[in-house]
């Protein structure tokens, strides 16, 4: 199967290894994207609405801002996977996650609305990855001055969701089942 197999750490930035390791028991990218998406959406929906605007410390993002960041980052890595899979040799830029968070309008949004958006973005990514060929999935491009393959981008998406759900559970919620 084309999406079977772990990412090559040399085909991503050094920080990506952290995200790869969060899903180290998994080997099927498509199944991981699907199951991780279901689990992440359910986790978002399990967050009490009274914790939506909570910040665990001054200057930290609210719970809703973390989820918006998760969605934005997923879109960015899907775009990177799309460009690289189409053999676009343009070096893709990095992004300032704080800037994105500062300009993401979450004040009038609910957790349900964010969960629905997350599901839509993940569904789009699943369609993208489902139709990559063996040549596309491991083509190497450049993003944020580092090598990146669509396979690596997919595994970063999975690990990034795990990471932020854990952060929310550990720092924003009390008595929440670990993600």
Mean pLDDT by 10 residues, the chain (179 residues): 81 93 90 97 97 94 97 98 97 95 93 98 98 94 97 97 97 68
- The helix (H) or strand (E) run that includes residue 124 is helix 111-130
Q: At a CB cut-off of 8 Å and minimum separation 6, what does 31 contact?
A: none
Beta-sheet strands, E only, within the chain: 141-143, 146-148
Domains of the chain plus CATH, in order, are 29-172 (1.20.120.450)
Please report the pLDDT score of residue 179 as a whole number. Answer: 55
The answer to whether residues 148 and 142 touch, using CB atoms and an 8 Å cutoff, is yes
Q: 65 — phi, psi (to 5°)?
A: -65, -35
Q: With 0.85 as the threshold, say if the pTM is over it.
A: yes
């Amino acid at each position: 199967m084309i999406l079977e197999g772990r990412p090559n750490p040399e085909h991503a930035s050094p920080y990506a290894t952290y995200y790869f390791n969060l899903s180290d028991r998994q080997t099927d990218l498509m199944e991981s994207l699907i199951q991780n998406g279901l689990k992440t959406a359910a986790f978002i929906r399990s967050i009490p609405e009274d914790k939506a605007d909570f910040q665990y410390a001054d200057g930290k993002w609210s719970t809703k801002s973390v989820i918006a960041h998760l969605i934005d980052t997923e879109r960015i890595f899907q775009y990177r996977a799309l460009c690289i899979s189409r053999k676009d040799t343009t070096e893709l830029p990095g992004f300032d996650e704080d800037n994105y968070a500062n300009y993401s309008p979450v004040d009038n949004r609910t957790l349900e609305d964010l969960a629905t958006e997350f599901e839509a973005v993940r569904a789009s990514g699943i369609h993208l990855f489902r139709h990559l060929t063996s040549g596309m999935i491991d083509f190497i491009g450049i993003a944020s001055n580092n090598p990146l393959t669509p396979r690596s981008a997919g595994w970063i998406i999975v690990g990034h969701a795990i990471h932020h759900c854990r952060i929310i559970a550990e720092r924003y919620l009390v008595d929440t089942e670990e993600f």
